[in-house]
A and B are shown apart, each in its own frame.
Chain A
Amino acid sequence: MVEPQSSLLSVLRDHLKLTGTKEGCSTGYCGACTVLVDGEPVNACLFFAVDADHRSVTTIEGLSPERGELHPLQSAFIESGGLQCGFCTPGMIMSALGLLLAHPAPDEAAVREALAGNLCRCTGYQSIVAGVLEAAPKVRGADAAPARKRARSRA
């Protein structure tokens, strides 16, 4: 049952069975549950589901809806070795997407700043930064604003 205090994360994972968004800490301190709400990155564990009403929510599942076809950020993470255990990856990619939607050509410092709320224990982050920088020009071309175009979902 969705309750007024339910988090967006519990609605995504437990009710909609969209388990690509991960639960790492439930306190906003790991970033594994990052999703975009109207293109803005938020911690789904902190965000109240009621506040997603009439707004567009983009999760990792929404990035490459057609089977086999990867979003440029996903390809870049794979190519650069920006993922190992994979648990931080969906949130990391959503934060990166949030950045690229707002700043299509970020420098390394901007990438790091945007991903400061996404912990990764495996990679040491260097390959993640490389992946985001590599994906930037492709995201610019591919989809200027997938989050905004996406059907308005009622959580």
Chain B
Amino acid sequence: MQYFEPNFVDEALVLLDRFGSGARLLAGGTRLGFALRSDPRDVAALINLKRIRELERVEERDGTLRIGALVTAQRIATTPVIREHAPLLARAAGSMGARQLRSIATVGGNICSGDPASDLVVALVACGARCEIAGVEEPSRVLPLERWLDERATGVQAKELIGWVHVPVTQHVAAYEKMTQRRAFEMALVAVAFRAQREGAALRDVRIALGGVGPAVLRARGAEAVLSGAPLSAASAREAARTAAERDARPRDDARASAEYRRHLVTTLVERAIRNACGDIAGIAS
């Protein structure tokens, strides 16, 4: 195995091009390490991204929060601009694993791990995040995170890397709800992120993301439609929660929980998220 420490994104891309499917990008390594150590045989090149300083940056510019792919969960949870403009994301990051893990795990690595219950992805999808992708063929493209996840699931983009994550900065209300079996240090059974813009008693641009109830993180589009544009009420919150559970979620039985229970959690957590985000709207807070 050859080992590289490129200093610039372009250098990393050249290496990706050169080694093709034998290349592995190393960010925090919390996901990659285990596989690499138990069977390093078909890895020709390990490309450590951590010398690429620009991927460590967090900045707010032109109404967009730009977070470098190497930013760790701990920094996301604690960096003031993120806490100010995307508190939902900071919360989700702070609920990931435990302190030690958060020092290492990066947002880029987390997105690329493709985990259907990833706290960060659930939060980012609800935030309407976009990925800035650097590739050999096409220098840079920006696309919605969900699109990129879809593409990745279908196996394209081997010669690309995530450079930055863009989160739009707007006035909004938001909440994050995560259910686990024990009370900490565990991947979500179900995670729900809710974000919307308030216009009086009505909600606009509602985004609800669900983790743990499908092959990937899902948008609860049915539930979003229930809430969008209409005045929020206890009944509509309940209706949205039911829609999320019955129409949007696609849970399956597994060793940790039954599909039925996960579906029920979606109902409870979506309703709770709406209430926590919009608690001051009459009739919503219980």
Contacts and interface: CB of A to CB of B under 8 A. Distances in A.
State if A and B touch, Cβ cutoff 8 Å. Answer: yes
B1 A42 contact: no
Contacts of A59: none
23 contacts: A4-B3, A4-B46, A5-B33, A5-B40, A28-B97, A31-B100, A41-B100, A42-B104, A43-B100, A43-B101, A43-B104, A46-B30, A46-B33, A46-B104, A47-B104, A50-B3, A50-B5, A50-B48, A99-B99, A116-B185, A117-B97, A117-B98, A117-B100
A5 B103 CA distance: 19
Given A31-B98, A51-B48, 18 more contacts: A4-B46, A5-B40, A6-B37, A7-B33, A7-B37, A26-B34, A31-B100, A34-B100, A41-B100, A43-B101, A43-B104, A46-B29, A46-B101, A50-B3, A51-B29, A117-B97, A117-B185, A118-B98
Interface of B: 1, 3, 5, 26, 28-30, 33-34, 36-37, 40, 46, 48, 50, 74, 97-101, 103-104, 184-185
Nearest to A40: B103
Nearest to A113: B99
Interface string A107-121: 000000111111000
Classify the secondary structure of B's interface with A.
mixed
Contacts of A115: 99
A48 B29 contact: yes
Contacts of A48: 26, 29, 33, 48
A47 B102 CA distance: 12
What is the size category of the interface that chain A forms with chain B? 20 to 34
A41 B74 CA distance: 11
Contacts of A34: 100
A42 B46 contact: no
Nearest to A10: B37
Nearest to A43: B100
A27 interface: yes
B45 to A, nearest CB: 9
A42 B98 CA distance: 10
A106 B222 CA distance: 44
A98 interface: yes
Contacts of B99: 41, 95, 98-99, 113-117
Contact of B184 (A43, A51, A116): A116
Q: Of residues A4, A27, A40, A47, which shows the largest number of chain B Cβ atoms within 10 Å of its Cβ? A: A4
A66 interface: no
Q: Of residues B26, B34, B37, B98, which shows the largest number of chain A Cβ atoms within 10 Å of its Cβ? A: B98
Nearest to B36: A5
Nearest to B105: A46
A40 B1 CA distance: 29
A41 B100 CA distance: 5
A69 interface: no
Interface in A79-119: 95, 98-99, 113-118
